Structure 1
Amino acid sequence: MFEKLFQLSAHNTTVKTEVLAGITTFMTMAYILAVNPSILGTTGMDKAALFTTTALSTIIATLTMAFLANLPIAAAPGMGLNAFFAFTVVQIMGYSWQMAITAVFIEGLIFLVLTFFNVRELIINSIPQTLKDAIPVGIGLFITFIGLQHTGMVTGNTETLVTLGKMTDSKVWIGLVGLLITGVLVSLNIKSAILIGIIAGTIIGIPLGITIIPKEHLISIPPSISPIFAKFVWNDLFSTDMLMVVLTFLFVNLFDTVGTLLGLAAKAGLIDKNGSFPKVKQALFADAFGTTIGAILGTSTITAYVESASGVAAGGRTGLTALSTACMFFIAMFFAPLFLMIPSAATAPALIIVGLFMVSSILTINFDDLTEAIPAFMTMVMMPFTYSIAQGIVFGMLSFVFIKLFTGRASQISITVYVTAILFILKLFWA
């Protein structure tokens, strides 16, 4: 059955590999079950309902990615977008969470239309090859930075922005030991290395007091989503503020998703010899559908998750990986205390190792031609330094256009790239 549904042989993979990859992806992104309710809960939304909604929206979007696109990519409420939802739209701009949810719903509908008419696919296919080569590298640096933060090895500093964390912190040692275990197992070519590393880190955290074993019942009925289900308001539908909020959600979600999909597809070997991503329309539809359904269920924008790279690194190549991840989220709804006990420090080594795998794409960039190398470099460094995949693409695309234009190579710039660059400039000044 799985062979027929997901074409495992054609992708040179097995059921065991795909399932383990799906579990690995789940382990690295399970934090969203705790973090999303925490962030959106600051708006007054019911946190218990948000837990269930986060799981349900992730399951639906990831299953759509599995069966429609046959990709090893999970989708869930996006980090950054949920913060914009809670801290900017609601707390700073002063709008209700119901208004913000309405904006997300409208964004999802717009994305469905843009996907149907191939507008999003056109944008993706117009991205210059040097940027497509750089995007996986930038994502690798980005998720490595996230992993280092989760272990406490890198922490904030008012003078230098970041600095080395305290080596007396237990989380640092969980991360270091987990990284050593994972690194050794990966070097020995053990396919479940990343998953084993996560489990080992979780166990190590028990005596250190980082992994808290739940005292309550492990099995529980998921809380009702009725307090946040379909709570739309339409009185601000045609206001300027609603337009601004919708466009911001559109912009960030579009290019976060574009970057994530291209980066993951490249590492999974799903990019064809012409540099195109054949399944991009199905993937974008899954993303748009997930956002629309997520808004109805009561959560912020759904997007492809960069943590899916851990599953790809573990051998995931088809939708069976995504299906396995979705199944784990379904189980987690009933065993929330068990899954939520996994500390972020235990999953951090997986992100760091995956970052290494993705950075290897730098070998395909032509550094002899600076009109190609500089835009690629800007793409790579701006992702971790701005904490945004989307901003990396923005600065990479703009530098590509201006450098090509002023070095007499305007013929290498397509009309779509010009239009996209103009929109980027407008967005930078408008923001």
Structure 2
Amino acid sequence: MAYILAVNASILSDSGGPCECHDGGDACSKDPAYLACQNDLRRAYVVATAAAACIASGLMGLSANLPLGLAPGLGANAYFAYTVVGTAGSGTVSYAQALAVVWLEGWIFVILSILGVRQWLARVLPKSLKLSTGAGIGVYLALIGLGPGGLNVVGLDFDNLLGFAGCLPQYRDSEHSNACLSHVLQDPRMWVGIFLGGVLITLLLMYRVRGAMILGILLVSISSWPRGSAVTQFTDDAQGNDNWDFFKQVATWRSIDPIGPHNIDWQGYNTGHAWLALITFLYIDLLDTTGTLYAMATHAGLVDVRTGDFEGSSMAYISDAVSICTGSLLGCSPCTAFVESAAGIAEGGRTGITALTISLFFFLSLFFAPIFASLPAWATGSVLVIVGSMMMSSVAEINWDYMGDAVPAFLTIIGIPFFYSIAYGLIAGILSYVVLNIIPWAIAKVTRGRLVPDGWHDRREPWGIVPPNTFLDTTTKKLSPWQRAVVNHSLLPPWVKKLCIGQWRFWNMTEAEMEDMLEGRRLSQIYREQLAQRRAAEREQQRRGFAPPGDEETADAKSISPAPTP
């Protein structure tokens, strides 16, 4: 996640923040005073990003006990900088109003999380869509890792939608698109990132070397720091010299000035553009964070196969919402759970200790901003590709046997990278799922079940997941009809259900809840082990050649008990 320090600072500083440019437009790029303020703003954003990530990740680890890192999210920061505020303040609302919008969004999310709306949304999403979200995020990460913000293997192309990149600066169309005009795949920095980073990291992972990813990042970064080499990131120009002078400080402390809470316009909700930005932030972050949290929990094996929920989900959503408010006070765009958390999960992280470790290193980066801001993009690009490959494993569990489940899942997988947005990809999947399932359902109702699609009864995934209410001890407490109605309502969060039956200390888990949670963990573990056994049996059959029915290998494969039905 360390790359976000430099990337977020670069994106948000393009908005100009509190820097003033009286001429506006392209003239700002030629205003020395504005450019000096913008450069100072970029370094302030390195510190602010580190502080926001430190607070948000620590809150997630302490309150939700999940191995997730949080920081100002990609996508939301681009929308904040280039659409809402606009380059050099040319957008629809001012910088001060935009911060107020983000602050209000965070508190709205806190309320939605307390009321259980976000948890309910995660539960009612069809299983194939939830699994495809993780796979789509994996492809999205790989695209980022291969693109200009990573290894720079692919980029804009004049003839195709996407083409090879990796050319030297003199062969780029620097005046317009920055696309390669010729000499593609000849940038030595790209090959250093591929071999010293990607290939080496993969080999270390194959030999189960702990810390393989950070070792690869450090090796590529160290090789890019000496000046004068073909792979240096400190080029011989004004910007390169300025970055080199900042890097040489190694350890330093600076405040987040000129950004901070004093820039927020607390009464900046008096325009329609501000409310439009608020609504857009809400639905993007709602779907983005919900999809990311569920995908990471699935990747970590923390999702209960019976309920479709994961332990600590309520506090996870509340922590995420509070982090958005905190980020706005530091002058940042909305904070969110990072898909790069999959790298820590792949190394074995399963608890909040992982999040606290992330928080600790972001805290250290407050003092070592010159070092952490100097990790080159080609050092982290290969890691994103490798993590993306790990997240594709969920594709095997998608229901490809029924088109009403398969097509929405596929649209989600390709939509997330093609739309360059987790939220928009998930919207494509949800809308297609509704169309492809509601229309056949309506036709079946009209024809009284005589006209249904092939596989409607036996291959389609069942709709809806209602978590079992096993924490209610109905043998000792007789529930009234209204209490039972509240308890069986799937939209309401558990704390509301507890209060309705008189459990006033709703934050404490009862013995029945603990037993149910452990049972969910046990069944989920059995489910994952049986899936792994089935895949291992298939690979073994491929190695030995498929034996005819009745052979020992086939009998062994058939002896594997089926996975429990969620």
TM norm structure 1: 0.85
**Cα deviation 1:27-67 (Å, max 9, x = unaligned):** xx212212222222223323343222211111111101111
Identify which of structures 1 and 2 has the higher relative contact order when contacts are C-alpha pairs closer than 8 Å and 6+ apart: 1
Return the match for 1:192 from 211, 219, 235: 211
Larger helix share, 1 or 2: 1
The question of whether the paired residues in 2 share the 8 Å contact of 1:375 and 1:397 is answered with yes
Whichever residue aligns with residue 16 of structure 2, its letter is: G
Whichever residue aligns with residue 137 of structure 2, its letter is: I
The question of whether the paired residues in 2 share the 8 Å contact of 1:48 and 1:223 is answered with no
Instruction: Give secondary structure in 2 for the equivalent of 1:407.
Output: helix
Task: Return closer, same or farther for 1:37/1:204 CA change in 2, 3 Å cut-off.
Answer: closer
Whichever residue aligns with residue 351 of structure 1, its letter is: L
Partner of 1:25: none
Cα separation, 1, equivalents of 2:85 and 2:269: 16
Cα RMSD, aligned residues only: 2.1
Identity %: 36
Trace 1:173-212 onto structure 2 (pairs within 5 A): 173-177=191-195, 178-206=197-225, 207-212=229-234
Instruction: Give secondary structure in 2 for the equivalent of 1:160.
Output: coil
Cα separation, 1, equivalents of 2:464 and 2:276: 28
Q: Structure 2: where are the runs of 5+ without partners? A: 18-40, 166-183, 235-243, 446-461, 467-566
- Measure how far apart 1:226 and its partner are: 5.7
Return the match for 1:311 from 326, 344, 347: 344
**Cα deviation 1:266-301 (Å, max 9, x = unaligned):** 111111122322322111111100001111121111
Please identify, of 321-330 and 272-281, the stretch whose mean Cα deviation from structure 2 is larger. Answer: 272-281
Partner of 1:263: 295
Partner of 1:130: 128
The question of whether the paired residues in 2 share the 8 Å contact of 1:115 and 1:281 is answered with yes
Aligned residues: 388
Cα separation, 2, equivalents of 1:147 and 1:226: 32
Please identify, of 43-52 and 53-62, the stretch whose mean Cα deviation from structure 2 is larger. Answer: 43-52
Pair 1:154-2:154 in alignment: yes
Task: Return closer, same or farther for 1:159/1:243 CA change in 2, 3 Å cut-off.
Answer: same
Q: Which has the larger radius of gyration?
A: 2
Instruction: Give secondary structure in 2 for the equivalent of 1:303.
Output: strand
Partner of 1:83: 78
Partner of 1:342: 375
Partner of 2:137: 139
The question of whether the paired residues in 2 share the 8 Å contact of 1:230 and 1:297 is answered with no
**Cα deviation 1:124-143 (Å, max 9, x = unaligned):** 11111111111111111110
Please identify, of 96-105 and 337-346, the stretch whose mean Cα deviation from structure 2 is larger. Answer: 337-346
Partner of 1:58: 53
Cα separation, 2, equivalents of 1:415 and 1:204: 51
Partner of 2:64: 69
- Measure how far apart 1:225 and its partner are: 3.6
Task: Return closer, same or farther for 1:58/1:392 CA change in 2, 3 Å cut-off.
Answer: same
Trace 1:316-331 onto structure 2 (pairs within 5 A): 316-331=349-364
**Cα deviation 1:336-386 (Å, max 9, x = unaligned):** 112222211111111111111100111101211111111110110100101
The question of whether the paired residues in 2 share the 8 Å contact of 1:62 and 1:73 is answered with yes
- Measure how far apart 1:228 and its partner are: 2.6
Q: Structure 1: where are the runs of 5+ without partners? A: 1-28, 417-431
- Measure how far apart 1:211 and its partner are: 4.6
- Measure how far apart 1:235 and its partner are: 4.0
Cα separation, 2, equivalents of 1:267 and 1:66: 17
Trace 1:397-408 onto structure 2 (pairs within 5 A): 397-408=430-441
